[in-house]
Amino acid sequence: MAAGFLSADHAGMGVLIDQIRAVPGVSIAVYDGGPFLFYIGRLALVVQLAVVRRVKVWTPFLVLLDLLLPFIS
């Protein structure tokens, strides 16, 4: 999103995105690990809510099922 604000046109945005992706570790952190950590964090928050009884006990199991369903074909 920042590349869109920093570039003057679409071609310049493509060049800037390629430069960002060339930095070591960016691909793992942003494209591979980041989304995975988001879903793990979401599950952790729901588990915390279940521990303090703000949601039903079975809610974390539904969230976990929601996380695993895309892997089942």
Tens digit of pLDDT for each residue in 25-71?
888 888 888 888 999 999 999 999 999 999 999 999 999 999 999 88
**Reported pTM:** 0.68
Percentages helix, strand, coil for the chain (3-state, rounded to 5) are 80, 0, 20
> Which residues touch 57 (CB under 8 Å, ≥6 apart)?
50
The more confident residue out of 1 and 12 is 12
Question: Number of structural domains, the chain?
Answer: 1
CA distance linking residue 59 with residue 12, whole number of Å: 46
Q: Domain of residue 32: give its range.
A: 2-71
For 49, counting Cβ atoms within 10 Å of its Cβ (0-12 exposed, 13-18 middle, 19+ buried), the class is middle
